[in-house]
């Protein structure tokens, strides 16, 4: 894989969902138009067996890294994002079975007023545990969430099949060309990783 493929991290996160009987890896794009153009310009041309996703765990975070060979190399991009480990991530790690669908997703943010009482806030606590009288802050003493926020994920229909999935530790990054390239190009621009 050429090192000149640009790295793209301007997406919001990654969701992991069961859908069509298989785990789906869902990079989340905030806007439907943008997700359509990312699919149309880049992912559509990916050769399925060449799609790689890599997860590099560092403390409570992980690097999501994804790339592929393209039938249209001039518009190819590789994707990465440094993310917080989550229950859905751990479920994917245990349950993917070596295969997953890649779909893009969009999401709609929900306020406390719109959310059902048992809707989960991004802090991990339910809507009912947030105080409507206090700027929607979470009521758990140990939680520093100041405002309820939740989102509903919509999976787009088009999909690719991923069969090359690896979970790595930081000591392994030199052995994987895609990951090594990602770390070389992007690591020192991410100050949150250096903490």
Q: Structure tokens of 92? A: 């994917």
Eight-class DSSP state of 57? E
CA–CA gap between residue 98 and residue 93 (Å, rounded)? 10
Give 84's strand partners: 61
Quick one: 35 or 150, whose CB is closer to Zn ion? 150
Quick one: 19 or 140, whose CB is closer to Zn ion? 140
Quick one: 134 or 187, whose CB is closer to Zn ion? 134
Which residues sit at the interface with Zn ion, rule CB under 5 A? Answer: 121, 123, 125, 138, 140, 143, 145
CB of 111 to Zn ion, least distance (A): 12
CB of 19 to Zn ion, least distance (A): 26
Give 96's strand partners: none
**Three-state DSSP class for residue 139:** coil
Quick one: 145 or 178, whose CB is closer to Zn ion? 145
Quick one: 122 or 154, whose CB is closer to Zn ion? 122
> Sign of torsion, CA 184 190 193 194?
positive
> Sign of torsion, CA 20 25 29 33?
negative
CA–CA gap between residue 87 and residue 38 (Å, rounded)? 27
Q: How many helices and strands in the chain, by DSSP H and E?
A: 4, 11
CB of 189 to Zn ion, least distance (A): 29
CB of 74 to Zn ion, least distance (A): 43
CB of 136 to Zn ion, least distance (A): 8
């Amino acid at each position: 894989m050429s090192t000149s493929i640009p790295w793209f991290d301007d997406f919001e996160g990654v969701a992991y969902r069961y859908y069509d009987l298989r785990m789906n890896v869902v990079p989340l794009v905030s806007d439907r138009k943008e997700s359509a153009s990312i699919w149309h310009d880049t992912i559509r041309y990916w050769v399925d067996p060449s799609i790689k996703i890599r997860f590099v765990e560092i403390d409570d975070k992980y690097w999501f890294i994804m790339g592929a060979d393209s039938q249209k190399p001039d518009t190819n991009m590789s994707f990465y994002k440094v993310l917080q480990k989550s229950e859905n991530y751990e479920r994917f790690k245990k349950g993917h079975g070596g295969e997953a669908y890649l779909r893009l997703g969009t999401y709609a943010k929900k306020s406390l007023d719109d959310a059902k009482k048992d809707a989960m806030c991004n802090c991990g606590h339910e809507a009912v545990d947030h105080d409507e009288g206090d700027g929607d802050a979470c009521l758990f003493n140990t939680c520093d969430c100041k405002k309820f926020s939740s989102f509903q994920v919509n999976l787009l229909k088009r999909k690719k099949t991923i069969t090359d999935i690896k979970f790595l530790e930081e000591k392994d990054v030199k052995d994987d060309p895609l990951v090594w390239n990602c770390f070389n190009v992007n690591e020192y621009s991410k100050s949150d990783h250096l903490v």
